[in-house]
Amino acid sequence: MDARSTTLLVIGGGPGGYIAAERLGHAGKKVLLAEKEFVGGTCLNVGCIPTKSLLNSAKLYEHALHSAQYGVTAGDVTYDWAKVQSWKSEVVKTLVGGVTQMLKRLKVEIVPEFATLVAPGVVEIGGVRKTADHVIIATGSVPVMPPIPGAKDNPSIVDSTGLLSVPEVPKRLVVIGGGVIGIEFASLFAALGSEVTVVEMMPEILPFMDADLAKTARQSMPGITFRLKSRVEAIEGSTVSFTPEGGAQERVTGDLVLMAVGRRSLVDGWGAREAGLEIDRRGIVVDDRMRTNLPNVWAVGDATGRSLLAHAAYRMGEIAVANILDPEAHLHGEVMRWDTIPWAVYAMPESAGVGLTEAEANRRGLDVATVTVPLVLSGRFVAENGLSKAGAVKLIAEKGTGIVKGIHMLGTYAPETIWGAAAVLESEFTVSDLRQIVFPHPTVSEGIREAVWAIRV
């Protein structure tokens, strides 16, 4: 018999929930993790990982198609969608298996059942009532299906999960929504030869990205037709009717339509409201320690609606655990710092950023200096891409103090580089601090160094 008393109960086995369970397991706590569908959650099973696996295959295909420019001649370059799919499944299986094994090693009890919150410290799992000192909620999010006429029960419309496993590459794909999920799929299928149209209501794609870089990113995707400032009004079969601002209604037809207008936190169906959890338009309301309004009930990840990113979910899980284990942890910095969560888009071209955009800095009334440098200043970027591919770094710093407020990158390796930029913002480095950092050469990250010497604060 396990000598440890049940102290922790986690609802949801995605990045937020499993990292919390892992950290608690490491601390020697007895943990029970309820997961109704799949360990690894959205991210490992139908989100981050399968999309990156498919995108990697598409990037390899595109590289091979254009390899002659770099002196490498490939024969008949083709792709085999069935093999691309089975590689994706193998990757997912390997990673889900790894997380499951790790949790088992830490003696986390995984219960493959639906859980309902009854009251603080009381959860029903698969109909069995369990008690715990603390409950961590990590129920995640689900795709939004807007009430557009013709959208409901339309077999031509898929969400991201449906599109991940289509049996063949659609010849024509219409993507509704130019956010990160829409753009990654648009990029993937355009690279594989689909005729892709993105219909987006906003004036620019990727609305969280600095507007200048988002525009450059869009212009660097010539294989995709973008219809901006366009409101979708109806869908009939696979024909989407939309009206561009100030224009007349138009139609575009695909073999498939991807609905990618966003995701919403999963706060219904598991007792949240009945138990008295405070919920706002984003999701479960939490403070910067991930506490909810109920005692010893914590919420992390997409369920809070504060940041719909896996690494944000990880950090929220860690913050909750740190504050459960040590009520004074918040005094030692264990709080969420929402402004320094980086984001990344793995489209072609890739991009990433952290901190304020120029528009957000202006909205907050900050007096900032900005500079944008092209990545052709990076030797490695030119060696690997030539001069025709888009790439840039935009730096935003406060005038006077010189404190770096935002770093945004467009170009290869941006998602790999951006954690360093996040460290810069976390540490409140100034431009002159950053000038003292030695960057390896030749790297694409040297674009940041170029920007830091070009800015005038």
The span of 2-10, 76-84, 309-317, 375-383 binding ligand FAD (CB under 6 A) equals 309-317
Q: Kindly identify the residues of this chain, within the stretch 146-185, that bind ligand FAD according to CB under 6 A.
A: 160, 181
332 assigned to active site: no
399 contacts 377 by C-beta, under 8 angstroms:
no
Q: Please state whether beta strands 256-259 and 172-176 pair in parallel, antiparallel, or not at all (unpaired).
A: parallel
User: Hey, which bits of 12-127 come out as E strands?
Assistant: 30-34, 109-111, 115-119, 122-125
Assess 139 for contact with ligand FAD (CB under 6 A).
Answer: yes
Q: Which of 9, 14, 173, 174 binds ligand FAD (CB under 6 A)?
A: 14
CA 449, CA 10: separation in Å to the nearest integer? 43
Peptide bond into 170 cis (omega under 30): no
CA angle 402, 406, 407 (to 5 degrees): 110
Closer to ligand FAD at the Cβ: 165 or 432? 165
Report if residue 136 touches ligand FAD, rule: CB under 6 A.
no
> Looking at this protein, which amino acid is placed at residue 225?
T
Piece of 137-145, 186-194, 208-216, 400-408 that binds ligand FAD (CB under 6 A):
137-145
Of 302, 334, 350, 398, the one binding ligand FAD by CB under 6 A: 302
Stretch that binds ligand FAD, among 30-38, 197-205, 291-299, 368-376 (CB under 6 A): 30-38
Taking Cα atoms as reference points, which of 47, 75, 242 lies closest to residue 140?
47
Residue 395 engages ligand FAD in binding (rule: CB under 6 A): no
Does 43 bind ligand FAD (CB under 6 A)? Our answer is yes
Q: Pick from 92, 198, 313, 422: which binds ligand FAD (CB under 6 A)?
A: 313
Considering only 23, 51, 277, 434, the residue that binds ligand FAD (CB under 6 A) is: 51
Is residue 282 part of the contact set for ligand FAD (CB under 6 A)?
Answer: no
Instruction: Give the nearer residue to ligand FAD in terms of CB position, either 38 or 79.
Output: 38
In the complex, what is the shortest distance from the CB of residue 28 to ligand FAD, in angstroms, rounded to a whole number?
A: 23
Is 140 near ligand FAD (CB under 6 A)?
yes
Asked if 47 is part of the footprint of ligand FAD (rule: CB under 6 A), the reply reads yes
Q: Which stretch binds ligand FAD (CB under 6 A): 44-52, 64-72, 218-226, 241-249?
A: 44-52
Site size for ligand FAD, by CB under 6 A?
A: 36
- Rounded-to-integer distance, Cα 273 and Cα 116, Å: 11
CB of residue 14 to ligand FAD, shortest distance in Å: 2
Residue 140 C-beta: closest distance to ligand FAD, Å: 2
Give dist(CA 303, CA 266) in Å, integer: 6
Catalytic residue among 311, 332, 408, 441: 441
Integer Cα distance of 390 and 307 in angstroms: 28
SS (H, E, C) 86-113: HHHHHHHHHHHHHHHHHHHHCCCEEECC
Nearer CB in complex with ligand FAD: 304/378: 304
Extract the tokens encoding 28: 């020697």
* Residue ranges in 182-211 that form contacts with ligand FAD under rule CB under 6 A: none
- CA dist., res. 178 & res. 174, Å (int): 11
Q: Which residues contact 376 (CB under 8 A, 6 or more apart)?
A: 382, 387, 391
- Distance of alpha carbon 399 from alpha carbon 92, whole angstroms: 46
Task: Specify the residue, 139 or 357, whose C-beta has the smaller distance to ligand FAD.
Answer: 139
- Give the gyration radius of the chain's Cα atoms: 23
Judged by CB under 6 A, the residue of 9, 24, 54, 115 near ligand FAD is 115
292 binds ligand FAD (CB under 6 A): no
Residue with tokens 């995984």: 110
Q: What is the number of other CB atoms lying within 10 angstroms of the CB of residue 57?
A: 21
Q: Which residues contact 78 (CB under 8 A, 6 or more apart)?
A: none
Name the residues that contact ligand FAD, by CB under 6 A.
11-17, 34-38, 41-43, 47-48, 51, 114-115, 138-141, 160, 181, 266, 270, 301-303, 308-311, 313
Which residues are marked as active site? Answer: 441
